[in-house]
Amino acid sequence: MSTLYLGADTSTVAPYVLFSGDPFRVEVLKKYLEKPQHVAFKREFNTYTGSYKGVPVTVTSTGIGAPSAAIAMEEMYESGMKVAVRMGTVMALQDDMLGHFIIPIAAMRRESTSKTYVEESYPAVADIELVNIMNQTVTFFGKRYLNGVNCTMDGFYSKMHDSKFSKECGINMLKTFEELKKLHVTGIDMESSCMLTIGRLMGVKTCIVTMATVLENLKEVLAGQDRIDAEDLLCRVVLEGLYRYHTQNVE
């Protein structure tokens, strides 16, 4: 029987799963798979299973935010997932990281979804073996990476980017960025801490590989062909990273 939201099951999902926030980035990932089979596209969840250099891989999307990311993690786990990699974009807090990789070793849990699974003192920590392999893969592709601590939040327009309404409410976004910089946070997103926490609880090896496509409060962004090329590189890096992880763990 297929799962409620993703329409997946143990016959259609591989042990290795890549999670993209954007369902249309999944279509880019699909181009690099051998014999991709479309599992389903339901709501924000677009899923394919194929192989990369002979290694079975499932690629799926989560949409935006921790609640839907948790649903995707739950249903992929139900369908046999053993290794999970969130690959997406991140708001960097260092100006020199635009267009480079941020691969956090951990994340601050300022989203609320993971708190429904376990108390807040439980850490959101990445699998160190996966992190190291993704670091090596980024270097192989000739790009920079930064390991550090990310912060995951629920409110995009209340915490991460000015809007008409936030300005009317007198919300000062600078306070968020100033505080996190003092804590040496490397980037802000909306899914990572939830996925790391749930993955750890499930016994699923989990890590986060992100491309810094915007700086704080969108003061600078990757756009046009630069953005397309950056996301394409992100797709190639994570697939190659999973292949290298598989190769090291079956020898």
**What tens digit of pLDDT does each residue of 37-80 get?**
999 999 999 999 999 999 999 999 999 999 999 999 999 999 99
Q: How far apart are CA 56 and CA 75, in angstroms?
A: 18
Residue type, 56: P
Beta strands 55-61 and 185-189 are: unpaired
Question: Within the chain, how many helices (H) and strands (E) appear?
Answer: 8, 12
Residue 114 confidence (pLDDT): 98
Q: How far apart are CA 54 and CA 176, in angstroms?
A: 44
DSSP state of 169: T
pLDDT band at 250 (very low <50, low <70, confident <90, very high): confident
Q: Where are the alpha helices (DSSP H) in the chain?
A: 25-31, 66-78, 128-140, 156-159, 164-168, 173-182, 192-202, 224-250
CB 71 within 8 A of CB 61: no
CB 79 within 8 A of CB 3: yes
Residue 251 confidence (pLDDT): 59
* Residue-range domains of the chain with CATH: 16-250 (3.40.50.1580)
Mean pLDDT in residue range 120-132: 98
